[in-house]
Amino acid sequence: MDFLPLFFNLKSRQVLLIGGGDIALRKARLLKRSGVHLTVVSHVVDDELKALLIDSQDQIIIGEYHAELLEGKTLVVAATDDHNLHERVHYDALERNIPVNVVDTPALCTFIFPAIVDRSPIVIGISSGGESPVLARLLRARLETLIPNGYSRLGSLVGRFRNQVKATFGSVNERRRFWEHVLEGQIAEKVFSGRHDEAEALLEAAIEKGETGHQVGEVYLVGAGPGDPELLTFKALRLMQQADVVFYDNLVSAQVLDLCRRDADLIYVGKKRDDHAVPQEGINTLLVEHALQGKRVVRLKGGDPFIFGRGGEELETLKSHGIPFQVVPGITAASACSTYAGIPLTHRGYAQSVKFVTGQLKNRKDKLNFAELVHPNQTVVFYMGLHTLTELVDGLIGHGKPAETPVAIISKGTSPDQKVLTGTLADIAAKQYEAQLVAPALIIVGEVVTLQDKLAWFGDRVEEQAQTHALGMINTGVE
């Protein structure tokens, strides 16, 4: 280890910054966040840097650096493009035992600036020892996505009650168990969701009761999106990473499932048409049972939990048993798959409204209200309708929808295997019979489908494959 990671309290300390350009400005901003009194020396000082120093009543010296400026300083930073000057600053600082940083020159540094994830009072520093600052910044960017800003508020809350907890719990182990309960449970989640008063009230009650043991768990209904793991929300990923048990659907992709906590129990409760691994009532019971055991339960659903995901039914059961829950929206298939296929669901020139319709109703004898689905200037998206495509087409045409209305079928949308088949109400069933696109699939009906030729950017078009195959047969003499 070339550099020992340390955190210094620099509040009200005197720091010298040599340089007045863009790099010096970046260093000045960081230093000011730590509460230092800053002195900047340079022949020319950037206007933005000058404004920063004037606002905070710091010192600007226009002119040459000289060693006497180091007197009384706790830290010195050199941020110019003059290597000879940098060497002088380095040796002057060494003589006085003052920590020195010379930008982009690790050999002249006795300390370095890490890439910082700031969730004060929680601060994370990432360093490559000066070998690869870009890699350190990339790692910081990844951590930024995993650590919500709520950790700052959570750290402050814990700090306010630390002494009270120490007075309540006599042993280190008891305090550790208590804080684990707080930081991995409902109190932390309420902080993350902005319900600070509720979090503080729960914390005070937990201290008063001396709770360190078993408590009721919590259930998170998480929308897993249409399959592409990069479409998950930050919140979804965070909750998946802390789950004790995950109940997942058939439409949750393997790539998304891989992002769950490694030691979590993964339990499949998927549903396919006429094939339910676990009936809905059984799923509801499983969620309750595991939450009552004190576990953090993720119910992972393809798409969005509240759009044909039966999320409402599950929450009703949880509510009746007094089990706390959260719902994390996901990108629903209609939005994601149409976007990946290059089909905008609304467009000023084609459609001013959109309807999401399920092709699979709770009562199989129910009929769709086709009269509402045939209005002009409207896009209709059918979920789970591939197996009833002929009935859907006949119903739309039978209620007045023109047979030449464009239609698209998107199979395995957002995945590497995505395929798009386009046609009209008149011929889409025949085309699908030939193409045999597989579920999960989405059916889009409306004039917006004509834009797919111009806007497609992802996946394969079935027609293009067929044309390529036909040309190949002609060119090679195959009949």
The domain limits of the chain are: 14-113, 150-209, 218-331, 334-465
- Architecture in CATH of 334-465: 2-Layer Sandwich (3.30)
CATH number of the domain located at residue range(s) 150-209 in this protein: 1.10.8
Q: ∠85-90-95 over CA atoms, to 5°?
A: 125
pLDDT of residue 276: 60
121 belongs to an annotated ligand binding site: no
226 belongs to an annotated ligand binding site: yes
The question of whether 454 is a catalytic residue gets the answer: no
pLDDT of residue 472: 42
pLDDT of residue 383: 94
Fill in the DSSP letter of residue 171. S
307 belongs to an annotated ligand binding site: yes
pLDDT of residue 272: 64
* Rounded Cα gap, residues 395 and 379, in angstroms: 16
Residues with Cβ within 8 Å of 248's Cβ and at least 6 positions away in sequence, in order, are: 224, 257, 266, 267, 268, 269, 270, 300, 301
336 belongs to an annotated ligand binding site: no
> Judging by beta carbons within 10 Å of its beta carbon (0-12, 13-18, 19+), is residue 226 exposed, middle or buried?
buried
pLDDT of residue 275: 58
Beta-sheet strand order (sheet of 75-78):
59-62, 37-42, 14-18, 75-78, 100-102
155 belongs to an annotated ligand binding site: no
Superfamily of structural domain 14-113: NAD(P)-binding Rossmann-like Domain (3.40.50.720)
Kindly name the residue from 50, 271, 355, 460 that is annotated as catalytic. Answer: 271
Fill in the DSSP letter of residue 114. P
Fill in the DSSP letter of residue 477. T
User: Residue length, the chain?
Assistant: 479
Cis preceding linkage at 344, omega within 30? no
> Judging by beta carbons within 10 Å of its beta carbon (0-12, 13-18, 19+), is residue 277 exposed, middle or buried?
middle
446 belongs to an annotated ligand binding site: no
322 belongs to an annotated ligand binding site: no
> What is the 3-state composition of the chain as percent helix, strand, coil, each rounded to the nearest 5?
40, 20, 40
pLDDT of residue 475: 40
**In the chain, which stretches have pLDDT less than 70?**
212-215, 271-277, 360-366, 463-479
CATH topology of domain 218-331: Cobalt-precorrin-4 Transmethylase; domain 1 (3.40.1010)
Fill in the DSSP letter of residue 106. G
Kindly name the residue from 46, 228, 244, 249 that is annotated as catalytic. Answer: 249
The question of whether 2 is a catalytic residue gets the answer: no
The pTM for the full model equals: 0.71
* Rounded Cα gap, residues 311 and 301, in angstroms: 9
Closest by alpha carbon to 222, among 239, 207, 205? 239
Q: SS3 for 443?
A: strand
384 belongs to an annotated ligand binding site: yes
